[in-house]
C-alpha cells in the first residue's frame, strides 16, 4: 500500500515539475533582457559664461551656467578633455545673440539647442562618437 501511494505522489511531483521549471526559466530570461539602465552623468561647465552680446550700442551682458548630460564615462572624459574648445565655441555662440533672439522662452530654448548641437559637433569632430545626451541651463541671466 505504501509503495502505491509513494509512486502516486512521485508521479504528481514529476508531472508538475516541468511547468515550474519553465516558469523559472521564463522569469530568468525576462530579467536578462532588460539590463539595468546606466545612470546619466552630468558635467557642469564651470566657471559660468559671462559675455557681452547684442552688437553695437549699449553693452548687454548674458550670464549662463550650463551642464552637459552624457551617456557614459568615455563621453564624460571627452567633454572634460575638450573643455577649452567647447567653452570657446559657446562664448562665440552666446556673444552673437540679439535681444530679440533671447527675449522669449522659445528663443532661449533655441539657444539651448544650438549650444547642445555645438557641443555634440565638437565631440564628434574630435572623437568621432558623441555620447552627449543633452545640455541644460542651470542659470540664465541677461542684463540690458
**Cβ pair 139, 65 in contact under 8 A:** yes
pTM of the model: 0.74
With residue 101 as reference, give the H or E element that holds it.
Answer: helix 99-102
Mean pLDDT across 42-63? 94
Give me the chain's average pLDDT, please.
84
Cα 82 off chain centre by? 18
In the numeric block, which cell numbers belong to residue 116?
547642445
68 and 79 Cβ atoms separated by less than 8 Å: yes
What's the pLDDT score for residue 53?
94
Task: Report pLDDT for 38.
Answer: 72
Phi, psi angle pair for 15, to nearest 5°:
-70, -35
The Cα 94–Cα 22 span in angstroms is 60
The mean pLDDT value for 106-119 works out to 98
Compute the distance between CA of residue 69 and CA of residue 120 in angstroms, rounded to an integer: 11
Q: Which pLDDT value is given to residue 27?
A: 54
For residue range 60-86, list pLDDT tens digits in order: 999 999 999 999 999 999 999 999 999
pLDDT for 30 beyond 80? no
Mean pLDDT, residues 106-118: 98
Amino acid at each position: 500500500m505504501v509503495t502505491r501511494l509513494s509512486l502516486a505522489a512521485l508521479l504528481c511531483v514529476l508531472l508538475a515539475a516541468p511547468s515550474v521549471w519553465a516558469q523559472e526559466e521564463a522569469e530568468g530570461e525576462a530579467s536578462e533582457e532588460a539590463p539595468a539602465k546606466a545612470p546619466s552623468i552630468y558635467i557642469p561647465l564651470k566657471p559660468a559664461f559671462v559675455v557681452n552680446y547684442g552688437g553695437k550700442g549699449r553693452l548687454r551682458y548674458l550670464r549662463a551656467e550650463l551642464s552637459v548630460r552624457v551617456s557614459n564615462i568615455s563621453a564624460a572624459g571627452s567633454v572634460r578633455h575638450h573643455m577649452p574648445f567647447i567653452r570657446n565655441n559657446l562664448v562665440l555662440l552666446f556673444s552673437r545673440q540679439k535681444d530679440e533672439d533671447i527675449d522669449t522662452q522659445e528663443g532661449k530654448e533655441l539657444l539651448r539647442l544650438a549650444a547642445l548641437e555645438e557641443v555634440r559637433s565638437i565631440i564628434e569632430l574630435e572623437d568621432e562618437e558623441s555620447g552627449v545626451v543633452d545640455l541644460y541651463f542651470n542659470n540664465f541671466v541677461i542684463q540690458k
